[in-house]
Amino acid sequence: MRIKNICCIGAGYVGGPTMAVIAQKCPDIQVTVVDINEERIAAWNNEDVERIPIYEPGLPAVVQEGRGRNLFFSTDVDTAIDKAEMIFISVNTPTKTYGIGKGMAADLKWIELCARQIARISRNDKIVVEKSTLPVRTAAALKEILKHTGNGVKYQILSNPEFLAEGTAIQDLLHPDRVLIGGDIETKDGIEAISALSDIYEKWVPKSKILTTNVWSSELSKLTANAFLAQRVSSINAMSELCEVTGADVTEVAKALGMDSRIGPKFLNSSVGFGGSCFQKDILNLVYIAKSFGLKQVAEYWEQVIIMNDHQKKRFAANIIRTLYNTVSGKKITVLGWSFKKDTNDTRESAAIYVVDHLLNEEAEIAVYDPKVQAEQIYKDLDYLESRNKEANRLNLNVTNDPYEACKDSHAIAVLTEWEEFKTYNWEKIYENMLKPAFLFDGRNLLNIEELTKIGFVIKSIGKPAPTKNSVVSKPALVS
């Protein structure tokens, strides 16, 4: 089967970049990305391609190439569904905030709405592709909804989870480690649907990297991959605390570990804690699924990854307070970086939100600088926690777009995102304009401790012994 029209429901961090790359690699296919969020669609259509709603290196050029040719962004969901032979569902699947499974299960409200809309509009057979991350066996629910329309339209449901990471989305999409397609491998129609989707990827991905499984394995593989990745971060973060009390250096430990080819060097950077929209949500979802099958030990095992992550964020904030002589009340603390990692403007579940919330509870005066996150978003993130009223958040936290201004007269700086530009600052100038002792808490082990210590900063890194002015500090190991 040759696909000529694709519709993608959901123009977010996944739908936008994924479809832009498909449109680039398959100029013969018309790709329409639809969303109910009018503002977001207007931003995707912004004439100035640098102002699309997502900051992602390399994305503007890919969007520019396809937009208006075979890549379209629209709010007309019905028409796009009607025209398409293949529909990707790429809507949000956050943790439920109400009812049964509150705080754990994935909220499938938006997925179900999509299924019902597809069922209502479709007049010819469709391949429906789950791109969103979903609990194992969601495809069965989708099938049920689509089967009961009684209008004779046939559907094939495929699971095609996305493994891109924000900040490197375009490279990840162009050169994926693997593409996973789960489908009904036991029927002719199922196999045809899988090969229709595979044909699209084969335009740029080697066939050997396209993996076909049954739907349930595919759905569960996605949750498992995120759980394993997050587990590595929590594991190295657990060791960071042990390093701090034993005098070991977590960067050296990570390097030594990573050189073992069975372990590998990636995802061993100790940090203030992982953030992002997915790790926590997907693990909680996994825990919920395990619990609902009565697998207590399995649930508890994975829950520990989240517990460790929460501990790391709290421990970081507590360390700031303890170091500043047990009080931060009325003291200016500068936060460099608000996004959950570098090269993205996404702030969902960013460690910065929780560290700052903790410091505001202790009556600190916060100044924030992030190269890509807007003030409005920062206030929104804090308001969402409802720890204090909106006025108090605005009164006690000031967002500036000048890092030097942000650091001026502050008691301490906390680096919470690993933006490259932080390394290039004139740290001598920053030091001169701070109160002394000038404390620097590097939540990403990003900065050159040796140089900064020489300038006069008192530095607290993650998982490292505190350097003294004359101590020799080894260079950071190359762990990506």
Ligand X SMILES: O=C(O)[C@H]1O[C@H](OP(=O)(O)OP(=O)(O)OC[C@H]2O[C@@H](n3ccc(=O)[nH]c3=O)[C@H](O)[C@@H]2O)[C@H](O)[C@@H](O)[C@@H]1O
Question: Is residue 277 a contact residue for ligand NAI (CB under 6 A)?
Answer: yes
Using the minimum distance from each CB to ligand NAI, give the nearer residue, 37 or 214.
Answer: 37
Shortest separation between residue 84's beta carbon and ligand NAI, angstroms = 14
Please check whether residue 272 is in contact with residue 460, taking contact to mean a CB–CB distance below 8 angstroms: no
Interface contacts to ligand X, rule CB under 6 A: 133, 162-166, 226, 229, 233, 267-269, 271, 274-276, 278-279, 340-341
Shortest separation between residue 448's beta carbon and ligand X, angstroms = 19
Residue 154 phi/psi, 5-degree rounding, is -105, 145
77 binds, among ligand X, ligand NAI, none (CB under 5 to 8 A by kind): ligand NAI
Rounded Cα distance between 11 and 469, Å, is 51
Question: Is residue 121 a contact residue for ligand NAI (CB under 6 A)?
Answer: no
Longest dimension (CA), the chain: 78
Among 114, 194, 320, 449, binds ligand NAI (CB under 6 A): 114
Active-site annotation holds for 278: yes
Using the minimum distance from each CB to ligand X, give the nearer residue, 107 or 166.
Answer: 166
Shortest separation between residue 160's beta carbon and ligand X, angstroms = 12
DSSP letter for each residue of 66-129: HBTTTEEEES-HHHHHHH-SEEEE-----B--SSTTTTTSB--HHHHHHHHHHHHH--S-EEEE
Question: Is residue 285 a contact residue for ligand NAI (CB under 6 A)?
Answer: no
Using the minimum distance from each CB to ligand NAI, give the nearer residue, 166 or 370.
Answer: 166
Half-sphere exposure of 120 (CA within 13 A, CB side): 9
Helix, strand or coil, per DSSP, at residue 353: helix
Count of CB atoms within 10 A of residue 479's CB? Answer: 18
Among residues 464, 463, 470, 460, which one has the least CA distance to residue 323? 460
Shortest separation between residue 167's beta carbon and ligand X, angstroms = 7
Active-site annotation holder among 26, 114, 243, 278 = 278
Helix, strand or coil, per DSSP, at residue 149: coil
Using the minimum distance from each CB to ligand NAI, give the nearer residue, 10 or 60.
Answer: 10
Among 3, 7, 8, 13, binds ligand NAI (CB under 6 A): 13
Among 132, 309, 339, 410, binds ligand NAI (CB under 6 A): 132
Rounded Cα distance between 348 and 93, Å, is 13
Using the minimum distance from each CB to ligand NAI, give the nearer residue, 230 or 324.
Answer: 230
Question: Is residue 449 a contact residue for ligand NAI (CB under 6 A)?
Answer: no
DSSP letter for each residue of 422-470: GGGS-HHHHHHTS-SS-EEEETTS-S-HHHHHHHT-EEEETTSPPPPTT
Question: Is residue 166 a contact residue for ligand NAI (CB under 6 A)?
Answer: yes
Using the minimum distance from each CB to ligand X, give the nearer residue, 350 or 453.
Answer: 350
| 22-81 residues near ligand NAI, rule: CB under 6 A | 34-37, 40, 77
DSSP 8-state assignment for residue 408: T
Helix, strand or coil, per DSSP, at residue 367: strand
Task: Provide Rg for the chain, Cα atoms.
Answer: 24
Among 24, 32, 70, 92, binds ligand NAI (CB under 6 A): 92
Question: Is residue 289 a contact residue for ligand NAI (CB under 6 A)?
Answer: no
Shortest separation between residue 325's beta carbon and ligand NAI, angstroms = 40
Shortest separation between residue 352's beta carbon and ligand NAI, angstroms = 17
Q: CA torsion sign, 68 to 72 to 74 to 77? A: positive
Using the minimum distance from each CB to ligand X, give the nearer residue, 83 or 209.
Answer: 209
DSSP letter for each residue of 272-283: S---SSSHHHHH
Task: Return residues touching ligand NAI (CB under 6 A).
Answer: 9-15, 34-37, 40, 77, 90-93, 110, 113-114, 132-133, 162, 164, 166, 277-278
Active-site annotation, residues? 278
